[in-house]
Amino acid sequence: MNYYSTSVTNLIEELKRLPGIGGKSAQRLAFHIINMPEDHVLHLSRAMVDARQKIRYCKTCCTLTDEEYCPICSSPKRDHSTIMVVEHTQDLAAYEKTGQYDGVYHVLQGTLVPSLGKGPDQIRFRELMDRLEKEEIRELILATNSSLDGEATAMYITKKVKPLGIKVSRIASGVPIGGELEYIDEVTLSRALDGRIQL
């Protein structure tokens, strides 16, 4: 039985589709939106539509951006000879918050999951290999999550990159097994980066 009008119910149902938003959270958000000034709601809706229409992958590192190249890849102040490989854009943001890393990134947009048939062609692995063949890269830092899939992805990349003569390192422990980088504090991430080991 619906307690609310169709418009309210539809808004709650749409909000429930968002990750981490259950029924009660969706209801709270829906009523917050309904009670917001109309111009704020319009700004919110425009920001969502703009993001969906304008966001694309950076031509170099495959992170999400609204330009051809992201601000990090475009910056002459970054060390373009060191690439940190991460799973998602949120992981890149987590490392940027530490202020400890001045290289560039490569965002895989996922990991290998052999059990589900997700191989190198389903992530941004080919783009990484293209960069390594075209650019002067001194070190590749593997900063995938310490999960089974993250470890498998790091091992696969190591196996493919080592023959190119590029130094390959892995972030050190300190990042808990099964931990997601975007939820880990900056101090732990800094220690993991400082204590990385060569593979």
**Are 105 and 27 members of one domain?**
no
CATH number at residue 35: 1.10.8.420
How far is the C-alpha of 176 from the C-alpha of 138, rounded, in Å?
28
**Are 72 and 167 members of one domain?**
yes
Asked, for residue 69, whether it belongs to a domain, the answer is yes
Predicted confidence pLDDT, tens digits, the chain (199 residues): 467 788 999 999 999 999 999 999 999 999 999 999 999 999 999 999 999 999 999 999 999 999 999 999 999 999 999 999 999 999 999 999 989 999 999 999 999 998 888 889 999 999 999 999 998 999 999 999 888 898 899 999 999 999 999 999 998 766 666 677 777 777 677 767 777 767 6
Asked, for residue 85, whether it belongs to a domain, the answer is yes
**Are 82 and 23 members of one domain?**
no
- DSSP SS3 for 85: strand
Asked, for residue 114, whether it belongs to a domain, the answer is yes
Q: What's the confidence (pLDDT) of residue 2?
A: 65
Residue corresponding to tokens 């229409």: 53
Q: What's the confidence (pLDDT) of residue 69?
A: 95
**Are 189 and 151 members of one domain?**
yes
Task: Give the contacts of 139 (CB within 8 A, at least 6 positions apart).
Answer: 81, 82, 83, 103, 166, 167, 168, 169
**Are 189 and 91 members of one domain?**
yes
Q: What is the pTM of this model?
A: 0.78
**Are 102 and 160 members of one domain?**
yes
Asked, for residue 156, whether it belongs to a domain, the answer is yes
Q: What's the confidence (pLDDT) of residue 174?
A: 65
**Are 41 and 69 members of one domain?**
no
**Are 49 and 68 members of one domain?**
no
Q: What's the confidence (pLDDT) of residue 198?
A: 73
Domain that holds residue 11: 6-54
CATH number at residue 167: 3.40.1360.10
**Are 49 and 84 members of one domain?**
no
Q: What's the confidence (pLDDT) of residue 191?
A: 65
Residue at which a domain ends, from 54, 72, 89: 54
**Are 68 and 46 members of one domain?**
no
Asked, for residue 124, whether it belongs to a domain, the answer is yes
Task: Give the contacts of 78 (CB within 8 A, at least 6 positions apart).
Answer: 72, 102, 103, 104
Count the domains in the chain.
Answer: 2
**Are 36 and 112 members of one domain?**
no
Asked, for residue 20, whether it belongs to a domain, the answer is yes
